[in-house]
Structure 1
């Protein structure tokens, strides 16, 4: 029954947007983009803050009229920055955190735009990357770890900003081709060609990006930082082939195939491999 209701709801929304595109095309495109970019999960309040985040030192930054939250578990001068994905928040790292803390490092996690305690309703990768850059400039992390769209944001960040203080990056379950994500959304709502074209134009005008170039594989090809890419064969959210695309173009990277972890990729053995990769001597 829930699946039927969800199907009817999504198709009804799509039908309305398609109708609107014939009379108010700009408004229809804006609505389609708003629905696409607004997460429906992952927000937090001070009253609902998970215990793992309550144990951290918190700090709020402001940037271009937006605010975003960071959480720090203090250690030594080695700094690791954690970047979560879509409809999540900094608490998603709770299971990995003990393994990283065993290295003695200072761990910093960030809430992305419109997630956790950060402000806003819209999530987009360029804005997320600008948040990351502020944190990098402030705390000088040597290591970046990103999951899902957070992983793709890390790729975009390092490709765009080319920060030499970042020595190693870990990308878990990240998508490569943005066009696939957008196409899945368009198919879900059965949006017409006018809306599809309008969304492509929106990205070009607002982010100066052609969708075919908004690719994790392309970003990775420009990165000289040493990388580890891990992807699960049973990932139903981001297909395994996406991780292989990223790894294939990243010159100085290793690829780990996991199985049975799904998209979350929570696994003790994987955490050990990530820690070993970050702190290996060569």
Structure 2
């Protein structure tokens, strides 16, 4: 029932934007982009942090007009960076942290733009990648783990900021092609051609990339580091075909297909597989 209501509201919103585009096309496009790029949930309050984040050393970093938050569980010289997905925050790793702690490693998690304790209302992959870049320069992680759009951002980060610091990367339930994400949004709202073209133009003008080229498989095809890609066959948010696209292009990565985990990818066996990949294989 909740899903039906959500779809109905999405269609209603799309109808409003389509009608608005004939009268105020610029306003319609701005609203369409805002609904696509502004998360509705995932923010945190400093006064009400989840318990898992209260156990950390916190640090706030400045990036231009934005700030982003990091959380560190101190350990040895081996460092792991955790990158969460859409409408989430650093606490999403709560179930995974105990497995990583067994290694004795230092664990660092960050909040994405407009998520957790990080500033802003708008999320974008390039801005998130800037946050990752600053975190890598500061904490020098050997391993990076990303979930969902956070995983896609990890791919873009390593493509845009190539370095020798990161040795292994784990990507969980991540989309490959940005065009698929945008098209899903357009289809869900039944947006007209006029708004569709302006949305595509926005990304070209602001990020200097055609959406066809903003592809995880394109980024991964340039990698020589070792990777682990995991995707669930019953993921109803990001199709498993997206994970397979990345795996096919990334020649030094292995692919794990899970079943019954959905998009969240929380699972003891998967955590053990990731642990083994990071710490028990060369």
Shared fold by TM > 0.5? yes
Q: Residues 4, 224 of structure 1: CA spacing in aligned structure 2 closer, same or farther, 3 A cutoff?
A: closer
SS in 2 for 1:234: coil
Aligned to 1:54: 54
> CA offsets per residue over residues 234-256 of structure 1, 9 Å max, x none?
11111111111100000111111
Aligned to 1:204: 204
Aligned to 1:145: 145
SS in 2 for 1:88: coil
Q: Is the 8 A contact 1:167 1:226 kept in 2?
A: yes
Aligned to 1:130: 130
1:64 matched to 2:64? The reply is yes
Q: What is the distance in 1 between the residues matched to 2:258 and 2:281? A: 24
In structure 1, the gaps of 5 or more residues are none
The number of aligned residues is 282
5 Å-filtered alignment, 1:1-282, equals 2-3=2-3, 5-282=5-282
TM-score by length of 2: 0.97
Question: Over aligned residues, Cα RMSD in angstroms?
Answer: 1.2
Q: What is the distance in 2 between the residues matched to 1:186 and 1:239? A: 17
Q: What is the distance in 2 between the residues matched to 1:224 and 1:195? A: 39
| Greater mean deviation of Cα atoms: 151-160 or 15-24 | 15-24
Q: What is the distance in 1 between the residues matched to 2:2 and 2:149? A: 27
Q: Residues 199, 42 of structure 1: CA spacing in aligned structure 2 closer, same or farther, 3 A cutoff?
A: same
Task: Quote how far apart the aligned CAs of 1:178 are.
Answer: 1.1
Task: Quote how far apart the aligned CAs of 1:24 are.
Answer: 2.3
Q: Residues 21, 59 of structure 1: CA spacing in aligned structure 2 closer, same or farther, 3 A cutoff?
A: same
> CA offsets per residue over residues 48-83 of structure 1, 9 Å max, x none?
210000111111111111111000000000000000
Q: Residues 2, 263 of structure 1: CA spacing in aligned structure 2 closer, same or farther, 3 A cutoff?
A: closer
TM-score by length of 1: 0.97
> CA offsets per residue over residues 6-38 of structure 1, 9 Å max, x none?
344322221221122122222211110011001
Q: Residues 8, 259 of structure 1: CA spacing in aligned structure 2 closer, same or farther, 3 A cutoff?
A: closer
Q: What is the distance in 2 between the residues matched to 1:179 and 1:149? A: 13
Task: Quote how far apart the aligned CAs of 1:2 are.
Answer: 4.3
Q: Residues 209, 281 of structure 1: CA spacing in aligned structure 2 closer, same or farther, 3 A cutoff?
A: same
